[in-house]
Amino acid sequence: MKKSYQSLEDNSTHNMKQVIYRNLTSKILHLGFILLLTFSTSLTAQEGDPANGKSLFNANCASCHKLDKPMTGPALRNVEARLAEEQGLDREWINAWIRNSAAMIKSGDPYATKIFAEWNNTAMTAFPQLSDQDITDILAYTAQPKPEPVVLNGGGGETPPDDRGASNNLILGALAILFGLLAIALVLVKRTLNRFADAKGIEVATKEKGLPLWKAFVQNQFLVLVTVIFLLLASGYFVYGYFMQVGIDQGYEPVQPIHYSHRIHAGDNAIDCKYCHSSARVSKHSGIPSLNICMNCHKSISEVAPETLAEGREYGVDYNAEIQRLYDAVGWDGTAYTGDSKPVKWIRIHNLPDFAYFNHSQHVSVAGIECQTCHGPVEEMEIMYQHAPLTMGWCINCHRETNVKVQDNGYYTKIHEELSKKYGVDQLTAAQMGGLECGKCHY
Amino acid sequence: MSSNKKYWKSVEELNENSSIVETLKQNEFVEEIPTDEFLGDKEALESSSTSRRDFLKYVGFSTAAASLAACEGPVIKSIPYVVQPTEIIPGVANYYATTIANGFDFASVLVKTREGRPIKIENNTDAATNGIANARVHASVLGLYDNLRVKSPMKGDAKISWDTFMSETTSKLNGLSDGKQIVFLTATMPSPSTHKLIADFSAKYGNVKHVAYDAVSESATLDAYEAKYGTRGMANYNFSKAKTIVSIGADFLGDWQGGGFESGYAKNRIPDHGKMSRHIQFESNMSLSGANADKRIPLTPSEQKLALAKLYSYVTGVALPGSLPEGLDSAVKAAAKELIAAGSNGVVVSGIQDVNAQTTVLEINEELGSKAFDPDTTIKTRQGSDKAVMQLVADMKAGRVGALIMNGVNPMYSLPSTIDFKAGLDKVDLSIAFSMKQDETASNCDYIAATPHNLESWGDFELKSGHYSMMQPTIRPLFDTKQFQEVLLAWNGNDSTYRDFIKSYWTSNILGGSSFNKAVQDGVFVTSASSDLVEAETAETTTEDAEVAEEATVLTGGTAARALANSAKSNGMELSFYTKVGMGDGQQANNPWLQEFPDPITRTTWDNYLTISQADADRLELKNWNVANGGLNGSYANVTVNGVTLENVPVIVQPGQAKGSVGLSFGYGRKAGLKEEMQTGVNAYKLYQDFNKVQDVTISKAAGEHEFACVQLHNTLMGRGDIIKETSLEIFNTYGPEDHYHGWNKTPVVSLNHEEVKVTNPDVDLWESFDRSVGHHFNLSIDLNACTGCGACVIACHSENNVPVVGKTEMRRSRDMHWLRIDRYYSSEDSFESDNEKKENISGLGSSLSEFGEMESPAANPQVAFQPVMCQHCNHAPCETVCPVAATSHGRQGQNHMAYNRCVGTRYCANNCPYKVRRFNWFLYSKNEEFDYYMNDDLGRMVLNPDVVVRSRGVMEKCSMCIQKTQKTILDAKREGRPVKDGEFQTACSAACGNGAIVFGDINNKDSKVAELKDDKRAYHLLEHVGTKPNVVYQTKVRNTAKA
């Protein structure tokens, strides 16, 4: 059972990698795969190595096929058996189909033509490189039984995954009980001792009541003065601090209409920030990615791995439901776009006032500054929040400290030469370049 | 000393045992106050746990909570596309080449769009024809976001759907009784594909007539040209090839023949190797052309006719009857002499709307063999025929017209006799107006077909023969609109889109194998092989117009001139109509940018008025005067033409107006489909009888006084020649700029140790100068010779920099917000030079006051000079030192920065600015109902430039030298890792200036044009003696007056 979890998870992560790969090699992308059809001579069927088959499947087939769900091509679970039973097609047919389906369609094979028409006349990429053994392995993998659905809410109570949590609680509980016992014991001891004292007629020394502390304090005028001054200063400090943070939304972490986890995308999957926020390269805005960008990957990824799902429960979120929200917004019914889309109303986190001009491309493309410099450890953020204060002082500090990246930029050649001579330094800060002038950001 | 006095509170106290007295000792009132009556249920009240104090606590708490909650920042939503179009990147502008063609203005332009919204119009520098947008074309982008646009088709006052519209109109068109005409009344549409569509329509329905109608008619010019060259159009003129230009009543720098001649003219106005063109202007109204002329002769319209005839006579030697007054005759003679001397380098143009006059002009130019005169290239942007329109009105009244389909015209406003037209319209079975507005005509029609703006439409235009221009949509239609051609296609039963129709028409008729997409991308297409198409085009038009074909007998060989001389008669005052640079024919009257645009000549906004000479004004007791707040007031006059009286026309005394003549501009006085604030001026079309631009009028003074919103109250330079430096070509060629006596561009001197030292000398400077040699250093050069005062830069600046519109009352209080103004100066003597002399010779002991007083009033025929003034970006800026909060500071790149968010509005800077270029936001002009112009509604705000802040109340603002544009250019270069090339840096004004008068660039780039101009011998700084070291440099104006 555990093993099959493993495999599903592997499957989905591979899918993700595959997606990136797909985008790089769009050639493969464009061609759809069609079903692997198998003739099941039960002799050969079970000889394959499902582990090798799985890796082959993930490398070659997974971008268009899933085991249990139709994607670009049909679902492939038990395909060999099904074909044999329903169509009477043998392994030879499957081999021929996988290696060159187009030729089969051309030759007028009836089932080949039928399946071709059924899947939108999308031809499956030919895989002449797959050996007979490879295909056997793949088919063995597809012939594996479907894993039991994961029980999410621990209904069976048999697979609580976080043992550590439980043991922590146990230790803490034990400690609490221990301390409770100690306290009770102390009280008891004191009582007993008092009783002894009573019995032996020993007078327990009671403190003589002196001047109460507060009275002494009030009578000492100097102390009062110092305290008042201290309090005034302290409250002044806090009032100033309060007013200075008005309008600064550092740490602003609104609940978004779709729970989008930067941690999973930018962190676990290490997707480049600019894959989604592509306009940061050329525009003043980094841009909130349009939903078609999401669908580049999520067309294939409709649910997350069980472990990811479990992680989500820590944040109180069901990632699969969130993906479904994406599908609702973009109007994707699992196989096709319905055209009924509802744009997502994200809540904007980083808001600069209108009178401040900021240009992402200047910082991202020209200066080559990491997104994290201003946006913080986005790859660790489950929910995006405002990392930097985004105040003018914060901008200016950075401009004072950061050196301008002048190397290999033809624009800077002349001005760098002149300014280095003027200031007698080799590295120029943005401030020396004129980056503190009012009009550079306020117009 | 205790007193025994006892004070009585009431008589009751005398009564010793009064219970009342006893009660009053304890209680305030004798009787118990019946509080229960108004407090209601006493028991409930007593059992209630909420006391009065509790209530106050709750109130206090909720108030505090509400105010605390209000401290929360607003939640800002950000909604990305579901599927982002690949060409749209938020924050990056896209440019599309298209055409603005509204029947009056035709221009090939580039449209800047941001996030899919068109926000600015720029010149299409690839276009050989009409690639320079004028002020109205620049402003037309605002018309797209006009809140009063018709948002869906309408039947009467009710909104209907397009399906209903199409089915109803189609059945009505089909059901028209035989013998009744279907007439298309359209503005000039030189669109080959539309003509084809109308021809198709005609083939389907039969008995179809197409009447082209120009509100401001050029019919006489068209008739004369058609008679002589066989094509309906106007001769092309290329003023860059002319050395001597004689214009008789032609404002060719304005809207004469559709405009677009100023850039060619300006090319020859910059002295090059000691040579520049010579321009002699005969005219009655003071026009832009007259203001730019080297020699201007004011004369009445009837004298113009005679002068033209005489000019013909002197050039050709043919004797003609009639005689001009002595002075005029010699001026005409001199002009003729210069023309003959210039030979083929001379050219004559005329704006007299008379077939004989226009024929005479064509003949003179042929006689001269003028190189500038290009009759083979036909200008097609005016097609209207007066006779056809009059015939149509007659047909309509006679009930011969079954259906009238109008597109882009507003005859109920622009015809002199709207009563006739209305009577005719009532007899038409089906009337449809294709219109963007519920204007005078549309609201009188059966159906209003809501049309899209030019920026939402497809279209093709042949502006000149062989010069095509393409219109493509730059935004999806904002409203439920359909363009005229789409509906035509549907009526014709053609189910292709108009775009596909254009494409197939172009592919088979125009492109000759070239790419259609390329033509759309360029926005222009030029072919020499257009002759067959032109013929087809004309053949079609002439068949359509066959019934009303021009029958004027065309006179040639001097007979036209003779007839012209004979027709030159007048009785009393003559009124000549003109179009204002800001308003044109009036179709953009709802555009606040244009309403607030100061007329280049009178500098008056939000109005039209009767211009009259000082002599006539005195005779008629008409006056202008300034009131205490500085505002200009004027008398009203009643103007009568042939029994039609226009009442209460405000009067402006116009220097240079020919005695015996008055002027009045079209385009104002509209009411329907306009916001109340825009309903300004009087409707001059009411007097435009028989489409005659000149009318005999009687003028009488009317009661009351008119309040103008004039932005320039002082009209003369008072002999201060250092503000506008001007010299004659002869002196310019003969002497150096610093020549002791004749020096025409002397640097001012100051006294240092009792010796005269140039003010540019660092020794006399109060300030330490910064090192500006590193990086960019921006300078702006303005050539006073090339500047014609057209004002395109003013509107371009308006739209680039989100400059607010403040309205007439605020303008009158001199609270205009224009970052860029074009000052206009009149000479007080005959020329600025004599002004200078007069000032120099005023004796301090004698009559200095009276003589200075005289210099305040302009001459009867003054010299005129224009000077664009914006923030001079002084290196030693007086404004910067007085700002208490350092809101204005200097950048290393030469720009004087203005941090609006820092400004607290002390206005010290404006006080200390010697150039008066700083503008103060007296109010919040956006989202303020008091200023309901365009920043008050969501639609109007879509035109705002997202890269520039919308300023709020109490903040000073001014020209930033388009820092957002220079920063963008720098960033583009950085991203591409290359130095910035010369010509890349532009401001909105320099990009808009088609004359090349405004040049912007980096003077630290020694190869740049502006670096060269800065060191030109004509270069000077405004008020140089103040020592502000501006970064704006002016080029001395040189006038070619020597030969006079």
Tokens encoding A133: 């053994």
What is the per-residue pLDDT for A59? 78
Decide if B889 and A442 are in contact by the 8 Å CB cutoff.
no
Residues linked to residue B957 through DSSP beta bridges, in sequence order:
B919
Nearest alpha carbon to residue B925 among B917, B938, B939, B936: B936
Reported as a single tens digit per residue, the pLDDT across B735-750 is: 888 888 888 888 888 8
Cα–Cα distance for residue pair B552/B557, rounded to 1 Å: 16
What is the per-residue pLDDT for B538? 38
What is the per-residue pLDDT for B552? 43
What is the per-residue pLDDT for A87? 80
Closest-CA residue of A relative to B971 is A362
Surface-to-core class of residue B429, CB atoms within 10 Å of its CB (0-12 exposed, 13-18 middle, 19+ buried) = middle
Closest-CA residue of A relative to B945 is A443
Tokens encoding A77: 């679970």
What is the pLDDT averaged over residues A237-246? 87
Nearest CB to B92 within list A282, A291, A357 = A282
Homologous superfamily assigned to A2-142: Cytochrome c-like domain (1.10.760.10)
| Residues near B925 by beta carbon (within 8 Å), at least 6 away in sequence | B804, B805, B806, B817, B931, B933, B935
pLDDT bucket at B954, cuts 50 / 70 / 90: very high
What is the per-residue pLDDT for A149? 54
Q: Residues of chain B with pLDDT > 90: what percent?
A: 51
Tokens encoding B808: 């007439």
Q: Does residue A159 carry a pLDDT above 50? A: no
The CA distance from A106 to the nearest CA of chain B, in Å, is 36
Q: Does residue B593 carry a pLDDT above 80? A: yes
Residues spanned by CATH 3.30.70.20 within chain B? Answer: 726-1039
Q: Does residue A167 carry a pLDDT above 70? A: no
Q: Does residue B893 carry a pLDDT above 70? A: yes
What is the per-residue pLDDT for A334? 81
Surface-to-core class of residue A54, CB atoms within 10 Å of its CB (0-12 exposed, 13-18 middle, 19+ buried) = buried
What is the per-residue pLDDT for A72? 74
Decide if A442 and B900 are in contact by the 8 Å CB cutoff.
yes
Decide if B82 and A290 are in contact by the 8 Å CB cutoff.
yes
Closest-CA residue of A relative to B970 is A411
Answer yes or no: are the C-beta atoms of A23 and A17 closer than 8 Å: no
Decide if A346 and B891 are in contact by the 8 Å CB cutoff.
no
pTM of the model: 0.82
pLDDT bucket at B556, cuts 50 / 70 / 90: low
What is the per-residue pLDDT for A339? 86
Report the Cα–Cα distance between both ends of chain B, in Å, rounded. Answer: 112
What is the per-residue pLDDT for B557? 62
What is the pLDDT averaged over residues B870-874? 93
For residue A283, list chain B residues with Cβ-Cβ distance below 8 A.
89-92
Nearest CB to A283 within list B91, B963, B970 = B91
The answer to whether A389 faces chain B, any CB pair under 8 Å, is: no
pLDDT bucket at B161, cuts 50 / 70 / 90: very high
Nearest alpha carbon to residue B396 among B388, B384, B404: B404
The CA distance from A34 to the nearest CA of chain B, in Å, is 28
The CA distance from B707 to the nearest CA of chain A, in Å, is 36
Reported as a single tens digit per residue, the pLDDT across B242-264 is: 999 999 999 999 999 888 898 89
The CA distance from A377 to the nearest CA of chain B, in Å, is 22
Name which of B68, B88, B774 to mutate to probe chain A: the one with the most chain A Cβ atoms within 10 A of its Cβ: B774
Mean per-residue pLDDT of chain A? 80
Cα–Cα distance for residue pair B592/B588, rounded to 1 Å: 9
Nearest alpha carbon to residue B232 among B95, B346, B122, B388: B388
Nearest CB to B89 within list A279, A357, A443 = A279
Q: Does residue B849 carry a pLDDT above 90? A: no
What is the pLDDT averaged over residues B228-235? 88
What is the per-residue pLDDT for B545? 43
The CA distance from A346 to the nearest CA of chain B, in Å, is 5
What is the pLDDT averaged over residues B708-712? 92
What is the per-residue pLDDT for A272? 92
Q: Does residue B118 carry a pLDDT above 90? A: yes
Cα–Cα distance for residue pair B792/B134, rounded to 1 Å: 5
What is the per-residue pLDDT for B39? 66
Is domain B726-1039 given the CATH code 3.30.70.20 in the classification?
yes
Closest-CA residue of A relative to B887 is A438
Count chain A–chain B contacts defined by CB atoms under 8 A: 154
CATH topology of domain B155-217+384-454+461-469+479-494+526-548: Rossmann fold (3.40.50)
Q: Does residue B543 carry a pLDDT above 80? A: no
Mean per-residue pLDDT of chain B? 88
CATH number of the domain located at residue range(s) B235-379 in this protein: 3.40.228.10
Closest-CA residue of B relative to A255 is B75
Closest-CA residue of B relative to A279 is B89
pLDDT bucket at B539, cuts 50 / 70 / 90: very low
Nearest alpha carbon to residue B254 among B574, B583, B575: B583
Residue-wise burial string across B682-693, b where 16 or more C-beta atoms lie within 10 A, e elsewhere: bbbbbbbeebbb
Name which of B75, B77, B82 to mutate to probe chain A: the one with the most chain A Cβ atoms within 10 A of its Cβ: B82
Nearest alpha carbon to residue B134 among B791, B740, B754: B791
Report the Cα B63 to chain-centroid distance in Å: 52
Decide if B83 and A291 are in contact by the 8 Å CB cutoff.
yes
What residue segments make up the domains of chain A, in order of their start?
2-142, 216-246, 253-388, 391-443
Residue A28: Cβ within 10 Å count: 16
Cα–Cα distance for residue pair B618/B622, rounded to 1 Å: 6
Answer yes or no: are the C-beta atoms of B537 and B461 closer than 8 Å: no
Cα–Cα distance for residue pair A371/A393, rounded to 1 Å: 19
Answer yes or no: are the C-beta atoms of A381 and A251 closer than 8 Å: no
Nearest alpha carbon to residue A99 among A123, A126, A73: A126
Cα–Cα distance for residue pair B431/B446, rounded to 1 Å: 5
Nearest CB to A438 within list B77, B889, B973 = B889
Cα–Cα distance for residue pair B775/A415, rounded to 1 Å: 5
Decide if B80 and A291 are in contact by the 8 Å CB cutoff.
yes
Cα–Cα distance for residue pair B796/B990, rounded to 1 Å: 9
Q: Residues of chain A with pLDDT > 90: what percent?
A: 33
Report the Cα B536 to chain-centroid distance in Å: 36
Answer yes or no: are the C-beta atoms of B437 and B149 closer than 8 Å: yes
For residue B887, list chain A residues with Cβ-Cβ distance below 8 A.
438
The answer to whether A418 faces chain B, any CB pair under 8 Å, is: yes
What's chain B's Rg over C-alpha atoms? 34
The CA distance from B325 to the nearest CA of chain A, in Å, is 59
Nearest alpha carbon to residue B389 among B185, B189, B161, B115: B185
Reported as a single tens digit per residue, the pLDDT across B750-766 is: 888 899 899 888 888 88
For residue B895, list chain A residues with Cβ-Cβ distance below 8 A.
439
What is the per-residue pLDDT for A205? 67
For residue B800, list chain A residues with Cβ-Cβ distance below 8 A.
none
The CA distance from B901 to the nearest CA of chain A, in Å, is 7
The CA distance from B917 to the nearest CA of chain A, in Å, is 17
Cα–Cα distance for residue pair B449/B434, rounded to 1 Å: 5
Per 3-state DSSP, chain A is made up of helix, strand and coil in percentages (nearest 5) of 55, 0, 40
Cα–Cα distance for residue pair B752/B895, rounded to 1 Å: 30
What is the per-residue pLDDT for B908? 94
Q: Does residue A208 carry a pLDDT above 70? A: no
What is the pLDDT averaged over residues B2-6? 71
Bridge-based pairing state of the strands B430-435 and B401-407: parallel
Reported as a single tens digit per residue, the pLDDT across B330-359 is: 999 999 999 999 888 999 999 988 888 899
Answer yes or no: are the C-beta atoms of B817 and B804 closer than 8 Å: yes
The answer to whether A256 faces chain B, any CB pair under 8 Å, is: no
| Least confident residue range of B69-73, B566-570, B718-722 | B69-73
Reported as a single tens digit per residue, the pLDDT across B769-800 is: 888 888 899 999 999 999 999 999 999 999 99
Residue A337 phi/psi, 5-degree rounding, is -80, 130
Q: Which of 266-285 (A) contact B at CB < 8 A?
A: 279, 282-285
For residue A391, list chain B residues with Cβ-Cβ distance below 8 A.
none
Residues spanned by CATH 3.40.50.740 within chain B? Answer: 155-217+384-454+461-469+479-494+526-548
Reported as a single tens digit per residue, the pLDDT across B429-487 is: 999 999 999 999 999 999 999 999 999 999 999 998 889 999 999 999 999 999 999 99
Decide if A343 and B971 are in contact by the 8 Å CB cutoff.
no
For residue B771, list chain A residues with Cβ-Cβ distance below 8 A.
422
Decide if A410 and B902 are in contact by the 8 Å CB cutoff.
no
What is the per-residue pLDDT for B541? 43
Q: Which of 342-371 (A) contact B at CB < 8 A?
A: 343-348, 351, 353-357, 359-362, 365-366
CATH number of the domain located at residue range(s) B570-710 in this protein: 2.40.40.20
What number is the ipTM of this complex? Answer: 0.82
Reported as a single tens digit per residue, the pLDDT across B37-89 is: 666 666 776 677 777 888 898 899 898 888 777 666 688 899 999 988 888 89
Decide if A288 and B80 are in contact by the 8 Å CB cutoff.
yes
Name which of A299, A414, A437 to mutate to probe chain B: the one with the most chain B Cβ atoms within 10 A of its Cβ: A437
| Residues near B915 by beta carbon (within 8 Å), at least 6 away in sequence | B869, B871, B872, B1022, B1023
Nearest alpha carbon to residue B330 among B283, B361, B292, B297: B297
What is the per-residue pLDDT for B40? 64
Nearest CB to A279 within list B90, B773, B887 = B90
Nearest CB to A411 within list B89, B902, B974 = B974
Answer yes or no: are the C-beta atoms of B279 and B264 closer than 8 Å: no
Q: Does residue B135 carry a pLDDT above 90? A: yes
Q: Is B149 helix (H, G, I), strand (E, B) or coil?
A: strand
Residue B395: Cβ within 10 Å count: 22
The answer to whether A330 faces chain B, any CB pair under 8 Å, is: yes
Q: Residues of chain B with pLDDT > 70: what percent?
A: 95
What is the per-residue pLDDT for B53? 86
The CA distance from A419 to the nearest CA of chain B, in Å, is 7
Task: Say which amino acid occupies B118.
Answer: P
